[in-house]
Amino acid sequence: MRSYRQYCAVAKGLDMVGDRWSLLIVRELLISGDSRYTDLRDGIPGIATNLLADRLRDLEAAGVITRIEAPPPVATAVFRLTPWGEGLREVLHALGAWAGPLLRQQSPSDVLQSHWLAIPAELYLTDHAPDQPPVTLEVRTGDEPMHVVPVDGGARMRRGAAEDPDAVLTGEPPVVLGVLTGRLPLGTARRMGGHYRGDPGVLRRFTPAG
Amino acid sequence: MRSYRQYCAVAKGLDMVGDRWSLLIVRELLISGDSRYTDLRDGIPGIATNLLADRLRDLEAAGVITRIEAPPPVATAVFRLTPWGEGLREVLHALGAWAGPLLRQQSPSDVLQSHWLAIPAELYLTDHAPDQPPVTLEVRTGDEPMHVVPVDGGARMRRGAAEDPDAVLTGEPPVVLGVLTGRLPLGTARRMGGHYRGDPGVLRRFTPAG
DNA sequence: CAGCATCCGCTTTGATACTG
DNA sequence: CAGTATCAAAGCGGATGCTG
């Protein structure tokens, strides 16, 4: 991207990550950690392979990511956020929180990968009972199951099904997201096709307010 | 901008404000409030006039800004952030904070408008003595003077010179910014060409830590 | 003059094909 | 698997022209 050439923090930040696709690459690395080229391509549907290669070069040159070459036994290289690149978490959280209302309806042409929900969900999820034994909430929507677990005072949303979930939340993505963010009471969510099985306390432990 | 077509808060946010120049328009409206077309053009050096018109249309269609038509006595229309658009303040703050280190050196080709400093500065400035009578710190760097005043517990950076400043900070932009963010002690700043006149308590009242 | 719209050369993107 | 190569289409940047 051509620099804005403005001595301004916002403009300088955009010089680094304002290119199309760049922040979505950062999103994938924030959610999934170290990723191979094909992991990134799969996690960012729509990106052209040449642009992915271009952006990875740009982001590495900017110091946002590093390319970790594989250890000798013919493995494959992975990409990782630098500590500075990790600092973009707050930017993506702010942007995700701002754009949250746009997720209330889902366009038919929108692709959904369940792990993307981790960004808006973790913004709202907490652990209201950190001294209690840990519980697991499985979330089923989109292309793969996810599960929420308490992690030192907060909550994290991880990929995959839970081994022995204490509760399971199912439904269309906007409904599931509404429940997780505390915007939709369970009763309303049920009327919208949502489904909850297990101890309601599990949900209350993680979600805001009521 | 072509939509990413991903059911993801970050992607949806970028669909709205990910176009080149869009967030710089928001920056201007956040710092300066209601602005006319030419105010925006002057505050965003480098933007082509047709692109400014395009982006204003897009942002209005997205619900980020509104166009306020002038009152009858032939005035001129102004652009204003909607309440939702104001929510981008947190995004720009996060991005500005992340990109802060990039402002430690100023490239000779960078344009500087002093009011842009308000974003990184206000991130760090507070009012440590809200019950004391208000004081004013004038900041002279770049193309126009600015001044810092306490505003209910926090601090705001406003355009223009102060009427009767209690202290005046002068220097090259990276030095002034270093002092305001608390990164550079005054002694170090002086060695870098910075200049401070007035009660040192005024600076301490606003800046973090020491 | 403020507030655009049009035109044109250039760069970036998107889609697909191909390669080590 | 991890990219590079190619090329049409879209977007950008800069200049200029038009309209109240």
In this predicted structure, the answer to whether residue B194 has a pLDDT above a threshold of 70 is yes
Pairwise CA distance, residues A95 & A100, whole Å = 8
The pLDDT, as a whole number, for residue A97 is 96
Q: Is the Cβ pair B96, A5 closer than 8 Å? A: no
Protein CA at B1 to nucleotide C1' at D6, angstroms: 24
Q: Is the Cβ pair A90, B91 closer than 8 Å? A: no
Nearest DNA or RNA nucleotide to B53 (CA to C1'):
C4
The pLDDT, as a whole number, for residue B38 is 94
Between these two residues, B84 and B153, which has the higher pLDDT value? B84
A188 contacts A160 by C-beta, under 8 angstroms: no
How close is the nearest chain A Cα to the Cα of B171, in Å? 15
The values of phi and psi at residue B179, to 5°, are: -70, -45
Taking the whole predicted model, whether its pTM rises above 0.85 is answered as yes
Asked if A50 CB < 7 A from strand D, the reply is yes
Tokens of A113: 């990968």
Pairwise CA distance, residues A9 & B26, whole Å = 14
In this predicted structure, the answer to whether residue B94 has a pLDDT above a threshold of 70 is yes
At residue B1 the predicted structure's pLDDT band, cuts being 50, 70 and 90, is: confident
- State the first-to-last Cα distance of chain A, in angstroms, to the nearest integer: 46
The pLDDT, as a whole number, for residue A121 is 87
The pLDDT, as a whole number, for residue B202 is 95
Q: What is the DSSP string of A6-62?
A: BS-HHHHHHHHH-STTHHHHHHHHHHH-SB-HHHHHHHSTT--HHHHHHHHHHHHHH
Pairwise CA distance, residues B138 & B160, whole Å = 9
Tokens 């982006």 correspond to: B55
Residues of B in contact with A7 (CB under 8 A): 103, 106-107, 110-112, 116, 142, 173
The pLDDT, as a whole number, for residue B210 is 55
- In chain B, how many H helices and how many E strands? 10, 7
- In chain A, how many H helices and how many E strands? 10, 7
Residues B32-82 pLDDT 10s: 999 999 999 999 999 999 999 999 999 999 999 999 987 666 678 899 999
Residues of A in contact with B95 (CB under 8 A): 9-10, 13-14, 91, 94
H-assigned helices in chain A: 9-17, 22-32, 37-43, 49-62, 83-86, 88-99, 118-124, 173-180, 186-191, 200-206
pLDDT averaged per 10 residues, chain A (length 210): 95 97 98 95 96 97 93 80 98 97 93 95 92 95 94 90 94 95 94 95 88
Could you say which of B5, B18, B110 has the minimum Cβ distance to residue A6? Answer: B110
Between these two residues, B129 and A71, which has the higher pLDDT value? B129
The alpha carbons of chain A give a radius of gyration, in whole angstroms, of 19
The pLDDT, as a whole number, for residue B153 is 85
Task: Summarize the confidence of residues B185-205 as an average pLDDT.
Answer: 95
Nearest DNA or RNA nucleotide to B47 (CA to C1'):
D13
Give the mean pLDDT of chain B: 93
Nearest DNA or RNA nucleotide to A57 (CA to C1'):
D3
Residues B106-118 pLDDT 10s: 999 999 999 999 9
Query: In chain B, whose CA is at the least distance from the CA of A11?
Result: B24
B22 contacts B59 by C-beta, under 8 angstroms: yes
